[in-house]
Amino acid sequence: MKQISKRLMNWASILDDQTLAQAERTSGMPFIYPHLALMPDAHLGKGATVGSVIPTDGAIIPAAVGVDIGCGMIAVRTQFTADQLPADRKPLREAVERAIPLSAGNYNAAISPTAEARLDALDELAEAAGFNPGNYAKNWELQLGTLGSGNHFIEVSLDEDDRVWLFLHSGSRGIGNKIAQHHIQVAQEYCARHFITLPDKDLAYLVEGTDEFNRYIAELRWAQTFALLNREEMMDRLIRRFEDWIGSTIVETERVNCHHNYTSREGHFGRNVWLSRKGAINAERGRPGLIPGSMGTRSYVVVGKGNPLSLNSSPHGAGREHSRSSAKRTFTMEQLEENMQGIEWSHSAAFLDEIPAAYKPIDVVMEDAADLVEVVHELRQIINVKGS
């Protein structure tokens, strides 16, 4: 760890000048307490850096939570081992692709039986919060149980003992994005109305105690719950497809479901603050977490060490080094095919921008995080499903 200033602690050994400058701007906001913690996977984001932990006292920055509210990971360890799996993995990949809508804008055609209870819970939560999600997206109910695109994925993996894990990454989908974008605009309007000068318009904030702040927190918490239940719904479908493929029932031996784009109320350095983890997971002592690598690389099941300087946090993944357009210009399908050897996947050029070389090496990220988490399991992919 390197202390950049009294307000900025950095765990990233790979850090470009733009990302550092962005983190310094955010750390300079007057309500940051005690400091911003920059994680090993830090890279440039909207307003605030992806891979940063941002404690705020008396205010909150909607863009510092991120536009995919509640995005995160879920993993289930099964009782199966590699030698019990059918040799042909393509049928499972294709079954998963049929069962779970992939890609931006793709949603369910109808509400599935397993989604009904989860949607009822979301309806009750929205009613208690005093808002109608349908005002943001009329089809929000059909979004539950869908993956999305970008770096979101569904995988079957093996750990160090060849035990089978089911692993996926997604968030609050279109409904969460619309909620986030709305409140980022509300914050910008609030700051303009109160003649607040900002170093970046996406660092616009809401002041605790105002109607705007309370509305954002209520809808933020709803979207975070949506994201958590979205992952559970997809995991249910993945488990059923796996059971059909293997011809036997899964017995879960371990399950972890964690956000990495969210805000919670936490106590740090003697004060209760709003802690926004934008591309970071809760790594308080003893807490299980998930850190995925990039497409074709290893992922990790971890347990937190409770490092107070990191605000009990750790990285959420590898962190991009190339933008999507840069990756498509720089790398080739031949390189991606080489990286994906031994993994069942769709062989689509649409995923070239997800090539591992577009990201920081996950080994370096995990070395940087050695004082933040302990590795419990190391996972390697054998099936990969993504949305284009």
The domain in which residue 252 lies consists of: 2-386
Q: How many helices (H) and strands (E) does the chain have?
A: 9, 17
Beta strands in 94-179 (DSSP E): 153-158, 163-170
Q: pLDDT-derived band of residue 198, with 50, 70 and 90 as boundaries?
A: very high
322 catalytically annotated: no
pLDDT at 216: 98
Cβ proximity of 51 and 39 under 8 Å: yes
Which pLDDT value is given to residue 288?
A: 98
pLDDT for the residue 203: 97
Question: How many distinct structural domains can be found in the chain?
Answer: 1
CB-based contact 34:8 (threshold 8 Å) = no
Output b/e per residue, 278-292; b: 16+ Cβ within 10 A.
bbbbbbbeebbbbbb
- 121-139: pLDDT as tens digits: 999 999 999 999 999 999 9
Which pLDDT score is estimated for 184?
A: 97
Q: Has residue 35 got a pLDDT over 90?
A: yes
Tokens 């109608």 -> residue = 132
pLDDT per position as a tens digit, 163-177: 999 999 999 999 999
Select which of 183, 260, 316, 377 is catalytic. 316
| CATH value at residue 85 | 3.90.1860.10
199-237 pLDDT, tens digit per residue, is: 999 999 999 999 999 999 999 999 999 999 999 999 999
Q: Which pLDDT score is estimated for 366?
A: 97
pLDDT at 231: 98
Read off the pLDDT of residues 319-371 as tens digits, 9 standing for 90 and up. Answer: 999 999 999 999 999 999 999 999 999 999 999 999 999 999 999 999 999 99
- Asked whether 72 and 261 are in contact (CB, 8 A), the reply is yes
Q: What is the 3-state secondary structure (H, E, C) of 281-301?
A: EECCCCCEEEECCCCCCCEEE
Average pLDDT across the chain, whole number = 96
pLDDT above 90 for 280:
yes
Closest CA to 25 of 4, 39, 2: 4
What's the whole-model pTM score? 0.96
Q: Are 227 and 71 in contact (CB under 8 A)?
A: yes
**Would you say 71 and 44 are in contact if contact means Cβ atoms under 8 Å apart?**
no
Residue 388 has pLDDT above 90, yes or no: no
Q: Could you tell me whether strands 299-304 and 288-291 are parallel, antiparallel, or unpaired per DSSP bridges? A: antiparallel
